[in-house]
Structure 1
Amino acid sequence: MVTAEAARNVVGIIGNVISFFLFASPCPTFYRIIKNKSVEEFQVYPYLFTVLNCIFWIIYGLPFVHPDSLLVVTINGVGLVMELIYLCIFFTYAPNKGRKKVVYWLCGEVVFIAVVSLVVLLVFHDHNRRILAFGIICDVFNIIMYGSPLIIMKKVITTKSVEYMPFYLSLANFLNGCVWTAYALIKLDIFILISNGLGALAATAQLILYGCYFRSTPRDEKVVDAKAPQIQLAVSDGPGRV
């Protein structure tokens, strides 16, 4: 008979795999940046934000905050490394203004994370309160990241076209949200449950919208919108999403 802990580990591993592919989804964009030796119109904010999100989830999953959350730490650790690689590439090909932006934001994030972590760890000495504090912080960031694709939904409705709503990314977000929701339900983790449950609902709305406007999308359009990949990046960088 399969125990709840074994089932949770299996689901968590599946969630790690899906989250990894979400983290890897910006690779074509960075290949383009390297090839063109320019960041063009791409924005660095999604990656900076995801770094912050990953670090807080790593702290959340550490034994002195939330025991038995190794799979949360592993995927966000991998995600953090990947996001830092993206930032290094961006830094390499960005103009001076863009480079300064990366440095200033990263320094600010380090200070913010250090201050918040020290305050929580020094003020709260038991697991329950630490889980509550870091869980709320992680949920806020996760919900914002899961909700970022909703920005493009207005454009889809207005143009009656899903040209700039990537189906597979929406599907991956849906699967990611569902898997981590199941993970949270097997051994109740309210904070993983809340953000990923809402994420699954947001992705469901995107898929429904895609189905509604897929037929009305012009097939002969060859419009290149530099902002479209930015929207995708804001969505795809999220999986520190557990």
Structure 2
Amino acid sequence: MEILSLVFGVIGNVISVLMFLSPVGTFWRIIKHKSTEDFESLPYICTLLNAALWTYYGIIKPGAFLVATVNGFGILVEIVYVTLFLVYAAPKMRAKTGILVGLLDVGFLAAAILVTRLVLQGQVRIDATGFMCCGLNIVMYGSPLAAMVPNGAGFLLGAAQLVLYAIYRNANPSSNVSDGLEEGWQYQTLISSAASSSSEQSHEIKERN
């Protein structure tokens, strides 16, 4: 059973390494063009935080050396990615990246480690760190839903408009509405005519002067 667990652990680590290396093509493009273009640094900053927390979890949990090693590798890779953003990003993006790195990868990580080390003990510390890591994973993998929800709302509103159009497209407008529109058009015409006449009078006065 332990051998089977080790085999699956190694397979999982190989997959994790491939995932960490998957953005290599993107960063090769950044290096080649010497610009981060429209790429965002936040995913790599969050992945760095995630890898750091899982490495800490692998260190404090007995027998979790595979977790610590693969995420330690992830830390190195994500540091390279974030550094490339700091080198090749536009000044605004560079400042944003630096602030997020300070808040998340330094501030939040340090606070999480200090709290678990000073306040919690033994298995409680391990469990709390594990829950924190799992929560961060859920946030990371669920973040694309933020883009899907507005699109879904737009789809529903658009469908409602089509249904209303199909229901009322053959309806006859009431005479009151037609009269109101006609009166509004006549009123607008009078205003336009008055404005035009006033403009012409002003022009004539200027020519006489």
> Which residue pairs with 2:7 in the alignment?
10
Q: CA RMSD in A?
A: 2.1
Amino acid aligned to 1:36:
H
Matching of residues 51-200 of structure 1 within 5 Å: 51-62=48-59, 65-109=60-104, 110-126=106-122, 128-150=123-145
> Which residue pairs with 1:37 in the alignment?
34
Which one has a bigger Cα radius of gyration?
Answer: 2
In the superposition, the TM-score normalised over structure 1's length comes to 0.58
Whole-Å separation in 2 of the counterparts to 1:20 and 1:111: 26
SS of residue paired to 2:139:
helix
For structure 2, the 5+ residue unaligned runs are: 156-209
Runs ≥4 residues deviating over 3 A? 148-156
Whole-Å separation in 2 of the counterparts to 1:150 and 1:107: 26
Amino acid aligned to 2:56:
I
In the superposition, the TM-score normalised over structure 2's length comes to 0.67
Amino acid aligned to 1:6:
I
Amino acid aligned to 2:125:
R
- Matched pairs, number: 152
Whole-Å separation in 1 of the counterparts to 2:144 and 2:21: 17
Whole-Å separation in 2 of the counterparts to 1:113 and 1:23: 20
Whole-Å separation in 1 of the counterparts to 2:14 and 2:7: 11
* Higher share of residues assigned helix: 2
Q: Does 1:46 align with 2:60?
A: no
Residues 23-53 of structure 1 show CA distances to partners (whole Å, capped at 9, x for unaligned) of 1111111111111111111100000111111
Q: Identity over the aligned pairs, expressed in percent?
A: 43
Residues 174-233 of structure 1 show CA distances to partners (whole Å, capped at 9, x for unaligned) of xxxxxxxxxxxxxxxxxxxxxxxxxxxxxxxxxxxxxxxxxxxxxxxxxxxxxxxxxxxx
SS of residue paired to 1:41:
coil
For structure 1, the 5+ residue unaligned runs are: 160-242
Bigger relative CO (Cα 8 Å, ≥ 6 apart): 1
